[in-house]
């Protein structure tokens, strides 16, 4: 195990030279950024576009390149990592199917604003630039003139306003208006919804009642696609075509429920070939088929510094797998050429690296742990809820497990035997947190459980609730990836007399159960680069993170549904409102740290092994994949590497 660890450290040291510090919040740029202007050059036939597209132009089946791109001054120039690339080839990946929507969605996403490489501020992407007034209440956002959807229809502020008025505010795709669009009165705590208005075809404003210092960062996380193809959605929304017509279209698409249909088309649009996109690749097959294929978007609005239209890679081919082992075996066999793995697969991948003709590129994570659990604080069972909300019970579950064994078996020794906590170098790091409740002591754990009144035993010697009813801890997962960890956890829990059931459901079912508050315990990890940027995992603003369950629904519904937060959970929300109302970055950092301290105090998330890197496994002929990156949901994971500039060297 030590040899494996040393090899891993060597890889990280070689590949992540500037990645020892996590992202820190900074004030956003107040002036509209300028971009290098590289005119599209068609002097050489086909030199600036993929050969297949050049052939379509030659045959009169596609407009010329300069007619497909934004005006020269508004083309987005994407920096390449190592070198100007070549056109051609396929990005071949394993895929779990439509339940793994984000496996395709994140790396292909094109947000209005995206985070820079360091993760400490945003930069224009779909947007060309912006200006912000002195008190951060008015944001003027500029789009790219001449930019088009994948079907050639112009992309304008009409697509932004339509999305805002007819989709987001009307909640047609199942989401409440995102927190980013609310500003908070620093005195009264009053929340006010922003106003979004068109200025001209390529300019719009977002006006807040109160200062919103981090509005662009929050949009870059909450609502990355602050737009939608109006010309598509206006043909399906019941508000515009009537309920009967929407139902008819719903059934024609193969759905029964219009609400489900509108979520699929309004939120998960990248899976459907009928919906125009701004992404580098557009779907061409049914996501339910054995292979999901996305081909290059002929109207993609980015070039490299030489004026070559991106993307370089022709298509993405995602092959559906039935078992996680197929992912590893397919990579070793060369069936897949760009795949992401967790550290648990490091040993077999490293042993076969040369033979498989690939390389392993580790990206660090701001994760709190690599093996841990979340206890739903609002779980419906009253006995379980009482236990889960008792800090003593959480301490017992923590000290009753041997972390050294978990580290060795589950992470190959790569994850330290520590508590779930903010890693050193990441905003919110607290000295000593990683050692909280980490010493293995089952005698003390059993003593705590007895003190909680769990002294009665059933015929199998499992503990019962204080009222004599059955006590069972049920851990529900969406895959078998955590099987080794959970079998160990089950052993330790049952050694303490806590009957433990392990249940695996498909990803879609797990998602639905989480939203219905039916997940008592799960292993979902916490990975947050900056709570002020991405509060969802730590602040109960909506139904998304298992530990706070329906506290999030209460906030999301304005108190109409869910469970009212109390105590320290309510205090977290108070601190979040203070962050929202802050006028300076110093205030934001102060209250962000207070939220982290409450998590340290309560340990709602229990970790048994420290964070490990994500492993980007790439065939040696795939180039321009950065090595010194942070893998975080906020930055869209692999998408932070800007895959449109990846290329396959012929």
Say yes or no to pLDDT of 347 above 50. Answer: yes
206 pairs with which residues across the strands?
Answer: 139, 196
Q: What is the mean pLDDT of residues 118-124?
A: 90
Q: What percent of the chain has pLDDT over 90?
A: 83
Count Cα atoms within 13 angstroms, Cβ side, for 312: 24
CA atoms within 13 A on the CB side of 203: 8
| Cβ contact 574:583 at 8 Å | no
373-404 residue pLDDT tens: 999 999 999 999 999 999 999 999 999 999 99
Cα three-residue angle 81-83-89, rounded to 5 degrees: 95
pLDDT given for residue 477 in this prediction: 96
The number of beta carbons lying within 10 Å of the beta carbon of residue 272 is: 16
- What is the fold, at CATH topology level, of the domain defined by 371-609? Dipeptide-binding Protein; domain 3 (3.10.105)
Helix (H) or strand (E) holding 51: helix 51-58
- C-alpha 195/C-alpha 203 separation (Å) is 14
Where is average pLDDT lowest: 60-64, 228-232, 524-528?
524-528
Q: Tens digits of per-residue pLDDT, 502-535?
A: 999 998 899 899 999 999 999 999 999 999 988 9
Cα–Cα distance between 641 and 628 in angstroms, integer?
10
Helix (H, G, I), strand (E, B) or coil at 282: strand
* Cβ 396 vs Cβ 443: under 8 Å: no
Check for a shared fold between 110-277 and 371-609: no
Strands 182-184 and 281-283: unpaired
Measure the CA–CA gap between 373 and 608, rounded to whole angstroms.
Answer: 9
On the question of pLDDT at 409 being above 60, the answer is yes
E-only strand ranges, 238-370? 281-283, 291-296, 302-303, 315-320, 338-341, 358-363
- E strand or H helix that includes residue 606: strand 605-609
pLDDT at residue 186, rounded to an integer: 84
Distance of CA 107 to the CA centre of its chain: 10
Residues 6+ apart with CB under 8 A from 242: none
Taken in order 170, 175, 176, 177, the sign of the CA dihedral is: negative
Q: Where are the domains of the chain?
A: 1-19+47-109+279-365+613-650, 110-277, 371-609
Q: What are phi and psi of 617, to 5 degrees?
A: -105, 110
The pLDDT of residue 7 is 42
- pLDDT of residue 628 exceeding 90, the answer is no
The answer for residues whose C-beta is within 8 angstroms of residue 599's C-beta and 6 or more apart is: 538, 605
What pLDDT score does 422 carry? 96
Q: Residue 508: its pLDDT value, please? A: 86
Class of domain 1-19+47-109+279-365+613-650: alpha beta
Q: Averaged over 488-511, what is the pLDDT? A: 95
| Backbone region of residue 340 per phi and psi (left: phi > 0; alpha: psi in -120 to 50; beta: other values) | beta
Whether 39 shows a pLDDT value over 70: the answer reads: no
Report the 3 state secondary structure along 214-232.
CHHHHHHHHCCCCCCCHHH
What was the pLDDT predicted at 24? 33
**Three-state secondary structure call for residue 93:** strand
Exposure string of 377-413, with b = 16+ CB inside 10 Å and e = fewer, is bbbebebbbebbbeeebbbbbbbbbbbebbbbbbbbb
> Distance of alpha carbon 551 from its chain centroid, rounded?
21
Counting other chains too, the contacts that 152-159 makes at CB distance below 8 Å and 24 or more residues apart are 152/63, 152/68, 152/299, 153/229, 153/231, 153/276, 155/227, 155/278, 156/201, 156/202, 157/198, 157/199, 157/200, 157/201, 157/202, 157/203, 157/204, 158/198, 158/201, 158/230, 159/227, 159/228, 159/229, 159/230
**Distance (Å, rounded) from C-alpha 38 to C-alpha 75?**
8
Superfamily of domain 110-277: Dipeptide-binding Protein; Domain 1 (3.90.76.10)
The pLDDT score that the predictor gives to residue 324 is: 86
């Amino acid at each position: 195990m030590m040899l494996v660890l040393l090899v891993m450290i060597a890889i990280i040291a070689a590949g992540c030279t500037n990645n020892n510090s996590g992202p820190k919040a900074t004030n956003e740029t107040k002036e509209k950024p300028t971009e290098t202007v590289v005119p599209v050059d068609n002097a050489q036939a086909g030199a600036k576009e993929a050969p297949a597209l050049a052939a379509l132009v030659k045959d009169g089946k596609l407009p010329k390149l300069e007619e497909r791109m934004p005006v020269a001054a508004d083309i987005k120039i994407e920096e390449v990592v190592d070198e100007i690339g070549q056109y051609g080839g396929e990005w071949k990946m394993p895929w779990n199917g439509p339940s793994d929507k984000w496996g395709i969605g994140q790396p292909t996403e094109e947000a209005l604003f995206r985070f820079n490489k360091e993760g400490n501020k945003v930069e224009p992407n779909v947007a060309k630039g912006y200006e912000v007034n002195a008190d951060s209440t008015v944001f003027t956002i500029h789009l790219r003139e001449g930019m088009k959807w994948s079907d050639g229809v112009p992309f304008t502020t009409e697509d932004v306003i339509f999305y805002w008025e007819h989709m987001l505010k009307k909640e047609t795709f199942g989401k409440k208006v995102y927190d980013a669009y609310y500003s908070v009165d620093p005195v009264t705590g009053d929340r006010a919804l922003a106003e979004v208005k068109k200025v001209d075809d390529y300019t719009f404003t977002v006006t807040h009642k109160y200062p919103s210092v981090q509005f662009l960062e929050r949009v870059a996380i909450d609502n990355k696609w602050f737009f939608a193809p109006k010309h598509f959605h206006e043909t399906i929304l019941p508000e515009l075509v009537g309920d009967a017509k929407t139902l008819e279209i719903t059934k024609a698409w193969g759905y029964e429920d219009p609400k489900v249909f509108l979520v699929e088309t309004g939120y998960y649009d990248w899976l459907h070939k009928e919906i125009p996109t701004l992404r580098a690749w557009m779907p061409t097959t049914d996501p339910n088929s054995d292979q999901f294929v996305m081909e290059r978007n002929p109207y993609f609005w980015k070039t490299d510094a030489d004026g070559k239209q991106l993307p370089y890679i022709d298509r993405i081919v995602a092959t559906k797998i039935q078992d996680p082992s197929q992912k590893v075996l397919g990579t070793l066999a060369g069936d897949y050429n760009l795949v992401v793995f967790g550290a648990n697969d490091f040993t077999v991948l490293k042993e076969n690296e040369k033979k498989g003709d690939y390389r392993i590129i580790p990206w660090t994570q701001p994760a709190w742990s690599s093996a841990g659990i979340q206890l739903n604080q609002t779980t419906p069972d009253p006995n379980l809820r009482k236990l889960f909300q008792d800090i003593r019970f959480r301490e017992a579950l923590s000290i009753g497990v041997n972390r050294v064994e978990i580290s060795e078996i589950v992470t190959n020794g790569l994850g330290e035997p520590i508590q779930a906590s903010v890693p050193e170098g990441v905003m919110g790091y607290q000295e000593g947190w990683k050692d909280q409740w980490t010493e293995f002591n089952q005698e003390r754990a059993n003593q705590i459980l007895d003190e909680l009144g769990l002294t009665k035993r059933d015929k199998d010697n499992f503990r019962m609730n204080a009222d004599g009813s059955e006590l069972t801890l049920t851990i529900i997962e969406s895959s078998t990836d955590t099987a080794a960890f959970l079998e160990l956890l089950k052993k330790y829990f049952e050694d303490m007399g806590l009957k433990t059931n392990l249940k695996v459901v498909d990803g879609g079912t797990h998602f639905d159960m989480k939203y219905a508050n039916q997940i008592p315990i799960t292993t979902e990890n916490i990975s947050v680069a900056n709570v002020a940027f991405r509060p969802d995992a730590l602040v109960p603003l909506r139904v998304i993170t298992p530990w706070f369950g329906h506290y999030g629904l209460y906030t999301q519904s304005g108190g109409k549904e869910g469970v009212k937060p109390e105590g320290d959970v309510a205090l977290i929300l108070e601190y979040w409102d203070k962050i929202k109302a802050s006028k300076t970055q110093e205030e934001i950092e102060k209250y962000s740290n207070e939220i982290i301290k409450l998590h340290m105090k309560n340990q709602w998330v229990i970790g048994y092994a420290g964070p490990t890197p994500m492993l980007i496994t790439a065939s040696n002929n795939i180039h321009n994949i950065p090595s010194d990156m942070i893998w975080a949901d906020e930055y869209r994971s692999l998408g932070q590497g800007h895959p449109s500039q990846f290329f396959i060297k012929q």
